[in-house]
Amino acid sequence: MNTHEQAKEILSRARKAKRNVLLEPEAKALLASYGCAVTKEKVAVSAEEAAAFASELGFPVVAKIVSPQIIHKTDAKCVKVNLENPEKVKGAFKEIMANAKAYDANARIEGVLLYHMVSGGEEVIIGLATDPTFGKVIMFGLGGIWVEVMKDVSFRVVPVSREDARDMVEEIKGYPLLTGIRGKSAKDIDALCDMLVQVSKLAEANSEIAEMDLNPIFVMEKGAIIVDARIILSE
Amino acid sequence: MEPKEREALDKFFYPQSVAIIGASAEPKKTGYVWVKNFVEYGYKGKIYPINPKEDEILGFKAYKSVLDVPDEIDLVIFIVPAAAMVKIMEECIKKNIPAGIIHSAGYAETGKEGVLLQQKLVDMARQGGMKLIGPNCVGILCPESGHPWARRSTFPKDVGGVAVISQSGGGGGYFINMGEVRGLSFSKFISIGNECDVSVIDFMDYLKDDPKTNAVFVYLEGFRDGQRFLEIAKPLSRVKPVLVYKVGRTEVGRKMTASHTGSIAGSIAVYDGAFRQAGVLRVEDFEQAQDYLTAFENVWFGQGIPKGPRVGIIAGPGGPGVAAADMCGEVGLEVPPFSEETVRRLAEEIPGASRTNPTDIDLGAMAMLKGKNPFVVRANIIDADDNIDMMAFVGLGENNPKAAMDAMLEIQANCKKPFIVIWPSAGKEVDECKEVLLQKKVPLFLTPERGAKALGALIRYKKAVERLEKEAVR
């Protein structure tokens, strides 16, 4: 199956199930089909399976609920991070299941998603929105307060060229954080630009994607990896 | 743009004959002003006032209907109430008139019925092969052909290289009158009004191949089709600088624009991104637009394109020189040290002069020059410096403005590097000298910061063109 077909299949599966918000594993698979690096992950349906998967993926891991009804996973207390050994993973699995039921007793639960916890990179965000004038637009910013408080973001209209991607990264005020300051190492800006271009291609080829929130993405010394992804389809 | 499309839009600027429907013999009415403006602006084509109640208006025979005019009509101007428009439009279509300007208001900006009427007129015009501008606009201004707008103000006298497209007739007109004072002159002005048919973007496309236009300024509330803007603006930016003043940036402003033209004003951050993508320069206000256009007209298209971002600052008083250097740094320009050769020559030819960049002119050193002008001596030395791409002369003083003026004209005649002059106003004598410099197309700015920002805009544009070229190759 080529990139295009893989993406279409993921999207049509969600459509058939009448979901307009993709599950996190679906969103990541979609991004991966366009060559974006995403965290390696597995979905476990029991505490024992979770512990086994975690050992396979490598500690520490992050555990998150997978449920179409639970979109705001942190609010539902269904995210556990920095789990360092099988015992902690088992405990987290049970806790997440209980919290999910408490949050929404009718929620359909598909399991608990596990992935190796990334660290040592600079956190950034790539977003997609549909603008009334320009259509699909891509947003870029640094993670956390940089986006929320400082509004330090840049926009470009899809399709985003390689030159556009470079400009949008260089244009934000926090750019020096990526080139390496105060003894921090320089991050892989080329990989980040590739990702912006690929996200733009994904949005261009699949017009039903209305919004994306790739947050956080870790830009490492080598490579950039999407840790969490939310993709919303048009109604 | 297709040649056929281009020819159709040409009729707006270079009509051989104009019918003015709603022309009036009553001096207080717009229908009178418009006829009078055609006469006063020196329009050479034929003028046909249309008014069933008059025999003659300002010496021109008046007709009851366009159908009575014994000649072809290239352009029709509608100054009639919305309610009477359908019948009049029918007659104009029958007469095969290719272009029309609906001056009057009372359409889409008034609500649902207005929207429907406007659409009906557009449908009729499109079927009949007529292009429309407006409604709710002051029309077109073309100094070259003597085609006037509907405003009661004065007209720009000279033909120049700046084209203006405005979604506000008043705003655009105001800009042109202000710009004239700054020494700018214009190729074309388009008041687009409600943009019912021909759009801002269509005219941007038209101006790309307009041999009279060097640079385009757009006073913008919002685009209807952002994707098409990018499609047209990218190739346009590659050949001509495009400046946009986007209003409706704040919540208050946006409410105003919604009621003004009925167009959708998106988030300014998105517009900003699209502008950068298209190589378009966004300006903060009218004054900045005029500063940038002054730099484009007189530096870029006058003296030549700066080779790079390095500025040599030659200041009268030290302070304003430092202010200019600071702003250069903020807008992406460089103020590097002068070359060894420059430092050596400065020391030799002007003992005691400061040899750092910015260099300022102190009175002690001035005495050493024995009558030679301190700006000219420095300019000649720095003009040969390979570390410097352009020069800024800051603060020419008010003691002997005539000498300063002559110095700038000498520099303009002899120096190879592009330069700007920053000279705040200081009384009548200074203003008279500045007027002479304006006439001679010396790029003049009022404050060091504004001058530096304008130079920064040139370099930003230069980079944008390089980026667009690169993108176009791939």
Residue among B407, B431, B402 at smallest CA distance from B419: B407
pLDDT tens by residue, B129-185: 999 999 999 999 999 999 999 988 888 989 999 999 999 888 899 999 999 999 999
pLDDT at B105: 87
* CB half-sphere exposure, A140, CA atoms < 13 A: 29
Please check whether residues B267 and B313 belong to one and the same domain. Answer: no
Using the Cβ of B473 and the Cβ atoms of chain A, whether some distance falls under 8 Å is answered with no
Tell me if A133 and B273 make a contact (CB, 8 A cut-off). no
Using the Cβ of B470 and the Cβ atoms of chain A, whether some distance falls under 8 Å is answered with yes
Please check whether residues A86 and A39 belong to one and the same domain. Answer: yes
For A155, which of B223, B272, B467 is closest by C-beta distance? B272
Give the residue on B whose Cα is nearest the Cα of A166: B467
Task: List Cβ neighbours of A131 (8 Å cut-off, separation of 6 or more).
Answer: A137, A157, B226, B266, B267, B270
Please check whether residues A129 and A214 belong to one and the same domain. Answer: yes
For residue B252, pLDDT beyond 90? no
Residue among B228, B132, B218, B241 at smallest CA distance from B168: B218
Task: Choose one of A116, A135, A153: the last residue of a domain.
Answer: A116
The verdict on residue B90 lying in a domain is yes
For residue A220, pLDDT beyond 60? yes
Q: Give the strand pairing for B281-282 and B359-360.
A: unpaired
Using the Cβ of B471 and the Cβ atoms of chain A, whether some distance falls under 8 Å is answered with yes
Using the Cβ of B267 and the Cβ atoms of chain A, whether some distance falls under 8 Å is answered with yes
Residue B126: what residue type?
A: R
Using the Cβ of A157 and the Cβ atoms of chain B, whether some distance falls under 8 Å is answered with yes
Tell me if B274 and A162 make a contact (CB, 8 A cut-off). no
Q: How many CB pairs under 8 A join A and B?
A: 58
Q: How far is B302 from chain A (nearest CA, A)?
A: 30
For A131, which of B266, B467, B471 is closest by C-beta distance? B266
Tell me if A155 and B467 make a contact (CB, 8 A cut-off). no
Domain tally for chain B? 2
Domain of A199?
Answer: 122-233
Mutation for A interface: B276, B469, B471, B474, most A CBs within 10 A:
B276
Residue A231: what residue type?
A: I
Task: Choose one of A116, A141, A168: the last residue of a domain.
Answer: A116
Please check whether residues B277 and B315 belong to one and the same domain. Answer: no
**Residue A164: CATH number of its domain:** 3.30.470.20
Chain B residues with beta carbon closer than 8 angstroms to that of A135: 226-227
Q: How far is B228 from chain A (nearest CA, A)?
A: 9
Using the Cβ of A148 and the Cβ atoms of chain B, whether some distance falls under 8 Å is answered with no
Tell me if B266 and A134 make a contact (CB, 8 A cut-off). yes
Using the Cβ of B249 and the Cβ atoms of chain A, whether some distance falls under 8 Å is answered with no
pLDDT tens by residue, B279-304: 999 999 999 999 999 999 999 999 99
Do A47 and A93 touch, CB atoms closer than 8 A?
yes
For residue B262, pLDDT beyond 50? no
pLDDT at B367: 54
Token pair 């495009």: residue: B242
B365 pLDDT band, cuts 50/70/90, is: low
What would the two tokens of residue B329 be? 């740094």
Please check whether residues B44 and B97 belong to one and the same domain. Answer: yes
B260 pLDDT band, cuts 50/70/90, is: very low
CA–CA separation, B271 and B253 (whole Å) = 15
For residue B386, pLDDT beyond 90? yes
**Residue B370: CATH number of its domain:** 3.40.50.261
Please check whether residues A196 and A220 belong to one and the same domain. Answer: yes
Tell me if A132 and B272 make a contact (CB, 8 A cut-off). no
The verdict on residue B18 lying in a domain is yes
CA B451, B454, B456 angle in degrees (round to 5)?
Answer: 110
pLDDT tens by residue, B421-467: 999 888 899 999 999 999 999 999 999 999 999 999 999 999 999 99
* SS3 assignment, position A163: helix
**Residue A61: CATH number of its domain:** 3.30.1490.20
Domain of B392?
Answer: 303-464
Q: How far is B266 from chain A (nearest CA, A)?
A: 6
Token pair 């009804």: residue: A69
Domain tally for chain A? 2
* SS3 assignment, position B120: helix
